[in-house]
Structure 1
Amino acid sequence: MRMRQWADDLAMGVRFAFTGGREGWVRALLTAVGVGLGVALLLLTTAIPNALSQRDHRGSARDDFTYSQKPLKKADDTLVIAEVDTAFRGNDVRARLLEPEGARAPLPPGVAKFPAKGDMVVSPALKKLLESGSGKLLRERIPYRITGTIAQSGLIGPSELAYYAGATGLQDHLESGVVERIDYFGPAHGNQQDSLDPILILLIMIIFVVLLLPVSVFIAAAVRFGGERRDRRLAALRLVGADGGMARRIAGGEALAGALLGLVFGTGFFLVGRQLAALLKVRQMSVFPSDLNPSPALAALVAVAVPAAAVLVTLFALRGVVIEPLGVVRTAKPPRRRLWWRLLLPLGGLALLYPMIGQGRNNGDFNQWMVIGGTVLLLVGVTALLPWVVEAVVARLDSGSVSWQLAVRRLQLSSGSAARMVNGIAVAVAGAIALQMLFAGVEHDYTKQTGNDVNRAQMDVSVSGGHSLADAGRQLAQTKGVRRASAVAFGSVGDRAKDPKNELEVAVGSCAELREVARLTSCRDGDTFKIVGGEYDSETEKITKPGGTAYFDPTYSGTQRHPVAWKVPAGMKTAAQREDPTGYARSGLLVTRGALPQAAAAGLIQRVFVSLDPSVPDAGDYARNTAARLDPLANVFTLAASEQSKEFRSIRNGLFVGATCVLLLIGASLLVSQLEQLRERKKLLSSLVAFGTRRRTLSLSVLWQTAIPIALGLVLASVVGLTLGAVLLKMTGETVSVDWASVLSMTAIGATVVFAVTLLSLPPLLRLMRPDGLRTE
């Protein structure tokens, strides 16, 4: 019987929401928009795991380099493939050259047939780029005719730049390291996915909590839109015979109606956003709309949890409100909020996180439920403490300008509404500060110094031995945007032609170029040097005995090399070690071009260290074009002082994408909330204007009403965020340090969002400040 009474009362509230005239529809629509924005982001979040899984699956399905120790022999089902990846204006371009060796050669995923020599199939994004004016520079580097496009099954995202081009003669370069013979596409047999370490798992858990909690706070705030007008309706219901419990349940039914309509709106927003996802590219990441399919179980959970939360939040909000036939007690001065129970939430969060301090890589995994629970309690503590802080502060504010006094008095009467509006952004800022501290604290564990000297060179270009090294260096040096190019060839010499016992590194170049890899005193063409002070000095002495014979490019079992005999000259000079631009200090021999046997040049790896002029736009791309013209199989490496773990970088990119979505939600929800509050005060604003209050004064009062709570919310968010960040750093065993630049930037972003929302709300505010707003029916 009781359940039936609940159902009847909730159903009556739903009917009131949709049959209450224009006022009821406006209130329901505002609630639905606010809830719908949150639901859309929740659905997007439940769809992200599937989208990432699909990206990984397609990426693994097209793996083509097995790096097997046992090379395949040519057969009817083999394919020779060359990796010729490049980059254009900071965007990676996945590139492969294909040479099928039989009728059953495997086709790459997404490719209908092999392109002929000189032809290529491209991704839709690359085709669009190459056909545009901005892709002219890249077109010079990819001189193939477009004959088709790669299907979705062969791409990880709609914005990926990729192509497969036909080629011949690739088998001659099978030992180059960039060419391999394969008989299938997919992950190498026996390869297992490396599991993430506990610190990265902790980062992922905190990211999900920090991104989803503000969404939940916004949904909870949205279902309470129209609170003051609802109270007047509830008093009227009491007047016609409803008891207090029934009135509250009817209010819950009205919130339920807005939440159900919000589910419909949210689904629509999600479907529209999913179609627009193909146009969105964040840090080279993009997803296909078809990949954004929410998990059915999680989507059902959202569909049930949002309406249930709407009813529970409404009943909770009315727990201390006495609804009488002649009015609502809330219109009087509310009792002072109590602090003690509000402190229990953050203290409980700290109590859950404290036992895991010092765990992580060395002491086992973190307890996921304790991490999530502790973080949620700490951040929810912001929503519990903020109303008390706002009430305590505004109660002590007094004198000032007319606009200031209007704002302060409004806050003193309804500090709860002001705090609810700010709660979501305060939680988001607190979580962002904690995450920034955690990322900054553990970043050094996932970042390693490469040793590259980027002041000497910014690119390392490798070209095959079939090209003149001097010509390669000269052409790169003459390229637009290149300051200097040092061409050095590298190889090895052994004491025997086959399976040598002792083997040394050898570098070949002009005197000026050899000074890039060693320290020379005097040098002229025809000289040879042995590097002393290195790790292999004993081997050097054995191979460089005057009059002895050494062999360039000695062969080993299974290789197809052609050793070249070389008589060791007398009077070999000495040189000291020096790190090359990649940070490597070599041992062995240095040979000027005049002293190199002509036949030995083919077995050398030719590299050019390129220094770019940063003042020339696209200097790197001009150098890449020259390298591709010299050798289609040229490898071009960009030198960097440090490099980051791929997993850490992916997690950080994911955070950036999620934070962008949450930031958009924050702005949209704040705007809806602001418009709802202005609509509630329509008659009050019109009355003040009718009595002669200047519009400028009222506009400033609205700005103060927003600025005071947000300032208090950002201060509280900074305190909680710093506390949570410090605890998380202690959990990972890192030294607690505050990245004040990140703290200030997060706070500034939050303030900027609120300021932008306030500016956008000024036009409707000016329309509301008209005397004709006093009209009523």
Structure 2
Amino acid sequence: MIRLGLRMAFGRDGLGRLALIGGAVAIGVAMLLGVLAGVNAVQAQNLRYSWLNSGVTSAATGPAAQDPAWWAPRQDYFHGRSIIRIDVAPTGPSGPVPPGMPALPGAGSYYASPALMRLIGATPAAELGARFPGAPAGVIGEDALPGPDALVIVVGLPVAEVKARDGAVRIDRIVAVSPSECDGCYIGIGGEALTLTLGVVGVALLFPMLMFVGTATRLAAARREQRFAAMRLLGATPRQVSTLATVESAVAAALGAVVGFGLYLPVRWGLAHIPFTGERFHPSHLTLTWPQIAAVLIGVPLGAAVAARLALRRVRISPLGVTRRVTPRPPRAWRLVPLAAGLAELAWFVGRRPSTSHGQLTAYLSGILMVMVGLIIAGPYLTLLGSRALARWSRHPAGLIAGRRLADDPRAGFRAVSGLMLALFVTSVATGVIGTMVSAQGDRSASAAKLAMTAFPEDLAPGEKGLSTAAIPASLSTIPGVRAVQVVHYFDDRGDPGLPGLIPCADLAALRDYGSCPPGAEVARVFSDLAAPDGIPTHWEAAPVSAASLEQAPVLSLVVLTDGSPAAVETSRTVMESAFPALRPPLTDREWNSDFARTLVQFQRLADIVVVTSLVIAGCALAVAVTGGLNERKRPFSLLRLTGVRLAELRRVVTLESAVPLLAVSVVAIAAGFLSAHLFLRSQLQDNLVAPSASYYALVALGLAVSLALIASTMPLLGRITGPGTARNE
């Protein structure tokens, strides 16, 4: 039977079916391999951050170096991009050596990543290079960098200077533990955040992709059922028929899987140019493990074989039922229950948010996954309702035929649009959550014109009172683009905690955009960076001190107001860092919220990747399903043409058969997506869903338009396969 199955698969009638199924499976496998490689790349990239956490001594393992080194990490910025800077001071020639460098740089030299080295060379020294004293000792190697665009620098300084830095520690070994497995590591992606990222990718991409592969292996299922039912009537046993179906489907899927590995190469090239986590991947990160390769090569043909055996259950039970085209039992209303259960789980956690990140991950991802499964289960029933409405309200023969055909087998009608339904659901959830978070952030991080350097109490050495006004460089006010240099003093009243800064009302009045004093007040209490709550200028509260007494008050922060030009901001930053090297680098409002902003950017990129990939998968699934459906139904369409039905009328029938379930499930998927996003936001952030931007509607309209275009592209095929010869030969 295996030999007969191979002859049927490679016969003249089977070659076209083999090519169609194999090609569809190849596309799905290439995308599946891309997702697996992306998952591996995220983990490999995260491991490259490990050495930057060497100041976390609890994570240090391995033999200790003979000569410890002083180590002080800090974060700098340039044009909104983050620069990871490590100030080091070796205490001897046998100190710990990070990867990518032959040795720690000595005082007066530094090692920088290739991207940062290019940036220093292409930028005026007053804006960037002057921040890093000394000369370059070399370039940091690839094995120490998370990505080709990473901005990392290791600066060698005298021991006394590094010891005075904020967060300086003495180390005798380099951390080699991934941040996802490190307790206390703060550079890189933590374990729970990494699990969340990979979990979102797995739920949002792998599930639709596996469905697409399953759809591809079911191509021409009806035709195979008829052929195998005829064989049953001629005396073939159920086992023999199952063996033939298994061989034919497994061969097509196996060939598709092999071709998919070839198509994976351009997919891999594209992934290397996507900043999935905020940094592009090194091409060497995008690899597949041998277990993953084996799982795809074995799992895809095995899954196709199982799907083929399950698809023939009606043939095994009753071959006459297939040959006489018995109408299957219509789907029931119970199919809505899983969808309602998934939404109910998300609603349950509103006001009951789990206290741990792991608990939140389990609660929300399981709820989202249940909703996705519920949509798949409910899809045939929704298609049935749409078909009945079409048949009831249609005034044309095409609508009546399409409605009756859909009602006859709503599962087949829904299968063609199931991928797009999941894509629209994922799009709606991602757009709803990300859009609301961006809206909630509002303009609080919009300003890039104000630099603030603050002397936090934990930054100061014992006996220090803060910034020294005498040390403030006079050159700051002469920099082109700098509009004002404002000193904010400490509010030293221990019994009245609150706003920590003091500013004369006369100065505040000159600044205008940063709030105002109450009537009659001389001094106002402000935040150290003059940032008003929610980014809105406000009336600050009066301070119980006089303007004259501020001369004796210690300095809390130095705020430089610019015109927002990159040259003014970066030159001012360089001057401030050089004047106060022991303090944290000055930040703009946008950079102050950079952690949250970077998280938003990462999730936005993740959402964009998920949305685009989901729509591509949905388009492929729709094209495959519509083409396969036409091939399966060419005999009944040919008979309709012989009875006098015009080809234009048949085209309207096919369009309605695809468009009705497409629009019906799209409405439900979008509604379920926004409801899921709203429930998540209410539970996690206590925010209400914000209406999506115009780009969302444009994306949905584009997705539906492309889907309808794919349906229209199959119309020429309808004319070729529905001639009189088809009805006679069938």
Q: With the length of structure 1 as denominator, give the TM-score of the two structures.
A: 0.68
- Hey, what does 2:424 align to over in structure 1? 429
User: Offset of 1:593 from its aligned partner?
Assistant: 13
Residue 313 in structure 1 maps to residue 307 in structure 2:
yes
Distance 1:365 1:325, change over 3 A: closer
The answer for the alignment partner of 1:416 in structure 2 is 411
Shift of 1:636: 3.0
The residue correspondences of 1:536-547 to structure 2 (distance < 5 A) are: none
1:160 aligned counterpart, secondary structure? coil
In 1: Cα distance, 2:137 partner to 2:355 partner: 54
- CA gap of 1:92–1:404, structure 2 versus 1, over 3 A, is farther
In the alignment, does 2:127 pair up with 1:177? no
Shift in alpha-carbon separation, 1:351–1:411, aligned structure 2, 3 A: closer
Contact map agreement 1:48 1:294 (CA 8 A) in 2: no
Say if 2:567 is the partner of 1:575.
no
Q: 1:356 to 1:239 in 2, by over 3 A?
A: same
Partner of 2:464: none
> 1:220: Cα distance to partner?
1.9
Q: Secondary structure at the match of 1:30?
A: helix
What CA distance in whole angstroms lies between the structure 2 residues aligned with 1:106 and 1:292? 30
Letter in 2 for 1:85: D
Residue type of the partner of 2:128? R
Q: What is the DSSP-based 3-state SS (H/G/I as helix, E as strand, rest coil) of the residue aligned with 1:85?
A: strand
Within the candidate set 34, 39, 44, 2:24 is matched to: 34
CA contact (8 A) 1:356 1:366 kept: no
Which residue pairs with 2:8 in the alignment?
A: 16
Would you say the 8 A contact 2:96–2:104 is kept in 1?
Answer: no
User: What are the Cα deviations for residues 429-486 of structure 1, in whole angstroms up to 9, with x where unaligned?
Assistant: 3455456667789x69x99999x7977964325798699636244134x22xx5x333
Q: 2:616 matched to 1:664?
A: yes
- Give the 3 Å change call, closer, same or farther, for CA 685–419 of structure 1 in structure 2: same
Structure 1 residues 610 and 369, CA gap change in structure 2 (3 angstroms): closer
Q: Check the 8 A contact 2:69/2:91 in 1, yes or no.
A: yes
Match of 1:475 in 2: 478
Per-residue CA deviation, residues 592-624 of structure 1 (Å, 9 max, x unaligned), is: 89968xxx9xx97762332545xxxxx245411
Q: Report the equivalent of 1:141.
A: 128
Aligned mates of 2:691, 2:452 — CA distance in 1: 37
1:314, distance to aligned residue in structure 2 (A): 2.7
Cα distance in 2 between the residues matched to 1:338 and 1:258: 30
Secondary structure of 2:658 counterpart = helix
1:54 corresponds, among 35, 44, 53, to 44
Q: What is the DSSP-based 3-state SS (H/G/I as helix, E as strand, rest coil) of the residue aligned with 1:665?
A: helix
The DSSP-based 3-state class of the residue aligned with 2:485 is strand
Select between 311-320 and 288-297 the one with higher mean Cα deviation: 288-297
The separation in 2 between residues aligned to 1:681 and 1:637, in whole angstroms, is: 66
Of residues 573, 581, 603, the one that matches 1:627 is 573
**Distance in structure 2 (CA, Å) of the matches to 1:713 and 1:684:** 26
Further displaced range: 92-101 or 30-39: 92-101
Name 2:216's counterpart in structure 1.
222
The Cα of 1:223 is off from its aligned counterpart by: 0.9
| Aligned 8 A contact 1:359 1:733 in 2 | no
Q: Secondary structure at the residue paired with 2:586?
A: strand
From 269, 272, 278, the equivalent of 1:278 is: 272
For 2:652 and 2:379, locate their aligned partners in 1 and report how far apart those are by CA, in whole Å.
23
- Structure whose residues are more often strand by fraction: 1
Distance 2:677 2:471 in 1: 57
Counterpart of 2:62 in structure 1 is none
Alpha-carbon offset, residue 759 of structure 1 = 3.0
CA distance in 2, matches of 1:120, 1:687: 80
Kindly tell me: are residues 245 and 373 of structure 1, through their superposed partners in 2, closer, same or farther at Cα, counting changes over 3 Å?
A: farther
Partner residue, 1:110: 100
- Give, in whole Å, the separation in 1 of the partners of 2:637 and 2:112: 60
The aligned length equals 678
Equivalent residue, structure 1, for 2:461: none
Which of residues 720, 723, 741 in structure 1 aligns to 2:692? 741
**Aligned partner letter, 1:636:** P
In 2, Cα distance between equivalents of 1:371 and 1:462: 39
Q: d(CA) in 1 for partners of 2:185 and 2:355?
A: 21
**Distance in 1 separating the partners of 2:518 and 2:414:** 74
Contact 2:508 2:516 in 1 (8 A): no
Distance 1:406 1:165, change over 3 A: farther
Contact 2:448 2:588 (8 Å CA) reproduced? no
Distance 1:120 1:740 in 2: 49
1:459 alignment partner, one of 451, 464, 473: 451
Report what 1:151 is aligned to: 141
C-alpha RMSD of the superposition? 5.7
Shift of 1:329: 3.4
1:259 alignment partner, one of 253, 261, 278 = 253
Contact kept? 1:98, 1:164, Cα under 8 Å: yes
More helix by proportion, 1 or 2? Answer: 2
Q: How does 1:184-195 map to 2 (within 5 A)?
A: 184-186=173-175, 192=184
Which piece of structure 1 moves more, 373-382 or 704-713?
373-382
Distance 2:425 2:647 in 1: 35
1:268 aligns with 2:262: yes
Q: Which amino acid aligns with 1:255?
A: S
* Matched residue SS, 2:486: strand
Give 1:671-750 correspondences, 5 Å limit: 671-677=623-629, 703-718=655-670, 720-721=672-673, 732=683, 739-741=690-692, 749=699
1:87 aligns with 78
* Residue number in structure 2 paired with 1:569: none
Q: CA deviation at 1:256?
A: 1.8
Q: Which residue identity is paired with 1:334?
A: T
How far residue 762 of structure 1 moved from its aligned partner, in angstroms, is 5.1
* Secondary structure of the structure 1 residue equivalent to 2:416: helix
SS of the counterpart of 1:284?
Answer: coil
1:733, distance to aligned residue in structure 2 (A): 8.1
In the alignment, structure 1 residue 756 sits paired with structure 2 residue 709: no
Query: If you compute each CA radius of gyration, which structure gives the higher value, 1 or 2?
Result: 1
- Higher mean alpha-carbon deviation, 102-111 vs 295-304, is at 295-304
Q: Give aligned-pair identity as a percent.
A: 23
Note if contact 1:345-1:377 (Cα within 8 Å) is conserved in structure 2: yes
Note if contact 1:259-1:306 (Cα within 8 Å) is conserved in structure 2: yes
Contact in 1 for aligned 2:100/2:140 (Cα 8 Å) = yes
Q: Does the C-alpha gap of structure 1 residues 513 and 406 become closer, same or farther in structure 2, counting only changes over 3 Å?
A: same
Unaligned residue ranges in structure 2 (runs of 5+): 59-65, 456-466, 494-498, 533-539
- Residue 117 of structure 1 and its aligned partner are, at CA, apart by 8.1
Residues 689 and 770 in structure 1, CA contact (< 8 A), matched pair in contact too: no
Instruction: Compute the displacement of 1:393 (Å).
Output: 2.4
2: distance between equivalents of 1:55 and 1:46? 14
Give the conservation status (yes or no) of the 8 Å contact 1:62–1:154. no
TM-score under structure 2 length normalisation: 0.71
Shift in Å at residue 155 of structure 1?
A: 1.0
Paired letter, 1:708: V
- Cα pair 1:36 1:264 within 8 Å, conserved: yes
Match of 1:329 in 2: 323
Equivalents in 2 of 1:294, 1:226: separation in Å? 32
Q: Distance in 2 between the 1:507 and 1:355 partners?
A: 46
- Quick check: 363-372 or 213-222, which moved more? 363-372
Match of 1:487 in 2: 486
Partner Cα separation in structure 1 for residue 446 and residue 699 of structure 2: 33
Amino acid at match of 2:11: G
Matched with 2:587 is 637
Contact 1:473 1:608 in 2 (8 A): no
User: 8 Å contact 2:651–2:718 — kept in the other structure?
Assistant: no
Tell whether the 8 Å contact from 1:236 to 1:325 is kept in structure 2 after alignment: yes
User: Residue 377 of structure 2 corresponds to which residue in structure 1?
Assistant: 384
Q: Distance in 1 between matches of 2:648 and 2:120?
A: 54
Q: Distance in 1 between matches of 2:295 and 2:317?
A: 33
Report the 3-state secondary structure (helix = DSSP H, G, I; strand = E; otherwise coil) of the residue aligned with 1:242.
coil
Summarize the Cα distance change of 1:175–1:448 in structure 2 as closer, same or farther, 3 Å threshold.
Answer: farther
Alpha-carbon separation, structure 2, partners of 1:94 and 1:371: 33
SS at match of 1:103: coil
